[in-house]
Chain A
Amino acid sequence: MRLTLLVNDERHELEIAHTARLADVLRDELGLVGTKIGCGEGACGACAVLVDGRAVNSCLLLAAAAEGHSVTTIEGISRDGLTPLQQAFIAEDALQCGYCTAGQVVAATALLAVNPSPTVEDVRAGMVGNLCRCGAYPGIERAILRLGQVAPA
């Protein structure tokens, strides 16, 4: 089927299978490989992207269903250089192998957008869909909390 996707503020006309997942389209058709696939079943969050500002699992989302919405990937988030959140990830060593990291950054970006000063509990509840096999969680938690502290009250 034909469809138009708005990704990182750019419009793309595509011809895809109707069951194609957004994650595969981003990676294979648009070359946006910062979005990772860890499970393809909604269980890990490595594929997280923003759809209209909300973080979703792009491995389960039909690309067709994303038409008419605005998709932002890790490349879009990083377009104007590293965000303070990404810098905090580095400073707190919130990553090891880095495979989950794009998804973590996307999910944390969405979390901070609605809750600029989260508590530890907010961070844990808000990030629970993003697994990290390396166990970088303590750093991820510290990085997000650090952002909360510098955010304007």
Chain B
Amino acid sequence: MTRLVRSITEMEGRFEEKWVLVSDDEPEAWASDRPLAIVGHETPRTTGPTRVSGAARYTTDVSLPGMLHVAALRSPLAHGRVTGLNREAALAVPGVRAVLDSTDTLSFRSRSGPLYAEPEHAGALLAVVAADTLVAARAGVKALALTIDPLPFVIDVDEAFRDQRIDGEIAEESRGDVDAALAGADVRVELTVETPTQLQTALEPHGAVGWWTEGELTCWVSTQGIFDARSELAKRFSVAPERVRVVADFIGGGFGAKQGAGVEALLAVELSRRTGRPVRFINDRHGEQLDAGSRPATRQTVRLGATGQGDLVAIDSEVLTSFGMTGWRAVNTPAMTLYRCANARGVEANLKLHLRQGNAFRAPMVLEGVTAVEQAMDELAITLGIDPLDLRRRNFVDVDQPSGLPYTSNQLLACYDRVAELSGWVGRDALLEPSEDGLLRGMGCATQIWWGGGGPPSHATIRIGGDGIATVVTGIQDIGTGTLTAAQMVAAEELGLPLDRVRVTGGDTRPNVYGPVAGGSQTSPSVLPAVRGAAAEVKRTLLQLAGDVFEAAPADLDLVNGRFRSSDGALDEPYTEVTGKLGNATVDGSGMRGANPDGMRANTFGCQVAQVAVDPGTGEVRVEHVWAVHDIGRVINPLGARSQVEGGILQGMAFALSEEVAFDPTTGVPTNAWLDDYKIPSIADVPAMTIAFVDVPDTALNNVGAKGLGEPPIIPTPAAIANAFRHATGRRALALPLTRARVVETLA
């Protein structure tokens, strides 16, 4: 039976109550001690062969007959007013079919933009040109011969704060009496640190191919959420969702930046509607680095008060975020939740700056918050003379303090113990002995907290036919996280079929099987339980059919590794004996993610330790080793999970060492919006990594026991590195990243 119930859903810490469809037939969670044949075992990803052979088709690869190509004209100033655009000249370029700028009335609804006459950030779209070839489109852009007058702009935090350029209300949350507790604390520390603007830099830029035919809309989008993209397109162009098909077979990374349809899809569709041709709009790298979003820079001041034994009595955090003109606020989440503390206050303001608006980037806001709070905790440990890990253990808390609700599971203490053991944490001061190579070494740690429980709605269907192949249909898109492989594993496990008998699809809205956006570490814990539900239904039917074929009681039968077996072992037949009789008929099952448990919060936890070596003479910081232990509930695929953690650590490491947007103070334009100047890590930068999980299923959360893993591994890495730098050098850099310039200046 299916029912509609009210349930709390969560996305990146934003909670919402919704009506959701749930099933009474949902399987029980796998017990923690139940041995599983496929789940929990290293499994290569299903899409491996397609990807390694170059056969995978990304949005950038979609090419249709008669397709037009789009080139964009972007603002060369942080703030300006367009005074001239020569549309006639652009239209006169051979091959140019259409030009759009801010003076055109677009057929989709938009609050502002997406084509601006008064751009408020560098790289903002001013016009787009569609032409038979990209070369012609670029020539068209050049022919537009933009003239633009500069207007005053603000990108400087101090200037913006002085002028009180604040977006909306200043957010304040608090509990207890922070001022009194701080005043009465035995020990106080205060730390102000800055975090940089980091660019997602997915290797496949944002892009879309739009094709409008007779009121039907097909759109290939490099997006993390095909259903969100579909709703957005349907709404903006006023067409029924059923008449919109969004396809994203392969996505070349997203890291949070590729939400919904995006401006590229909107404009591609608009241009297609006007020209009657399919239209492809792919950002070039400069456009992508300028105008695809970012993790906004922050300045944070954290004050901690504690007893002489190290019990926190006050946490006070003030955050300024350089979000662009508007944004959301969540940087104080770690300050309010990470440690047990009766008196806590978080104040957070977004500054209105002439910057491209920030957007989601892997663990948005929480990574920034942890980076500051965990450095302050390190200072507190130093002031108290307490082992930093012991300080954290001492302040462990097993409820979500703002809501007062218990966690569905929390293995943080086990993470601390394991990471200490793996890294040799207690002996870390031996690193401070002078070394032969003249480098200064040190070790630091940091704690991770993030949501990642997922929730409804999320659906899956499974169909098995005469060929014995079970096809899992999902509405999720695999942005590289291996979710489809995990879905294949869960289906095979539940069905009792070998992996190669199960196929899994996603990335297409046409089957109309809803899946959530791939983000917020919620995809796996949302979709995998739905897949298992669908598999359970198919299996029930197959056992019924086997009962008919083998003249046995279905309750006495099981399907294991592709064979029907009776409990006494007398019957042992290949499953194809049953499916082979289906002919053209199919056995179908559908599943849906159940509601989240009432009165509980689902979070992931973890701790990382980093070891760095610092060369004071050249300012070089090398991360030598990172030890990571996370609690993500049940680990579905250890192979894919390890890759996720490695990737997260590397992005976190680069946030601490090399990635930051540099802005020209005279024009407000980023100077390094290219891939040669914006330094993401190379293979030569990879540290040794020791990765472990406290693999305890979260049976309260969902029927597979899994929490999410996309965000957790990036979160503690920067603070662990910053703390290791402090341990090694005795100095704290007040801003990240630890570039050579900053290190030399910090150690001077």
The residues of A with any CB-CB pair to B shorter than 8 Å are 17, 20, 24, 27-28, 31, 33-44, 46, 73-75, 77-78, 82, 86, 89-91, 93, 95-102, 105, 123-125, 127-128, 130-141
Contacts and interface: CB of A to CB of B under 8 A. Distances in A.
B354 to A, nearest CB: 26
Interface residues of B, number: 56
Contact of A36 (B60, B674, B680, B683): B60
A137 B53 contact: no
B681 interface: yes
Contacts of A34: 53-55
A24 B44 CA distance: 32
B482 interface: yes
27 contacts: A17-B135, A24-B134, A35-B54, A38-B204, A40-B284, A41-B285, A43-B676, A78-B52, A86-B53, A90-B52, A96-B643, A98-B250, A99-B203, A101-B51, A124-B684, A130-B683, A131-B203, A131-B681, A133-B201, A133-B680, A134-B480, A134-B643, A135-B650, A135-B681, A136-B643, A136-B647, A137-B681
A78 to B, nearest CB: 4
Contacts of A95: 45, 48, 51-52, 480
Contacts of B51: 95, 98, 101
B650 A78 contact: no
A62 to B, nearest CB: 14
A-B CB proximity, top 10 nearest: A34-B54, A99-B252, A97-B480, A98-B51, A74-B54, A135-B647, A96-B480, A90-B48, A135-B650, A43-B675
A101 B682 contact: no
B204 A125 contact: no
A137 B650 contact: yes
A132 B63 contact: no
A42 B646 CA distance: 25
Contacts, number: 173
Given A33-B57, A135-B648, A98 B480 contact: yes
A139 B641 CA distance: 12
A97 B202 contact: yes
A52 to B, nearest CB: 20
Given A128-B683, A137-B650, A41 B52 contact: no
Interface of B: 44-45, 47-58, 60-61, 63, 133-135, 201-204, 250-253, 255, 284-285, 479-482, 639-640, 642-644, 646-651, 674-676, 680-684, 686, 689
Nearest to A100: B203
A127 B682 CA distance: 9
B646 A75 contact: no
Nearest to A125: B684
A41 B284 CA distance: 11
A43 B288 CA distance: 15
Contact of A97 (B253, B648, B650, B651): B253
Given A91-B44, A99-B253, A42 B676 contact: yes
A97 B680 contact: no
Contacts of A136: 643, 646-647
A37 B642 CA distance: 27
Nearest to B54: A34
A43 to B, nearest CB: 4
Given A37-B60, A96-B643, A99-B58, 6 more contacts: A95-B45, A96-B644, A97-B252, A127-B683, A138-B689, A139-B646
B285 A40 contact: yes
Contacts of A28: 63, 133-134
Contacts of B204: 36, 38, 97, 99
Nearest to B650: A135
A19 to B, nearest CB: 9
Contacts of A138: 643, 646, 686, 689
Nearest to B677: A43
A130 to B, nearest CB: 7
Nearest to B251: A97
Nearest to B55: A34
B717 to A, nearest CB: 11
B482 A96 contact: yes
A132 B51 CA distance: 14
A62 B60 CA distance: 21
Contact of B58 (A36, A42, A124, A131): A36
Nearest to B644: A96
A27 B69 CA distance: 14
A41 B55 contact: no
Given A95-B48, A102-B54, A139 B643 contact: yes
Contact of A133 (B54, B56, B202): B202
B651 A135 contact: yes
Nearest to A138: B646
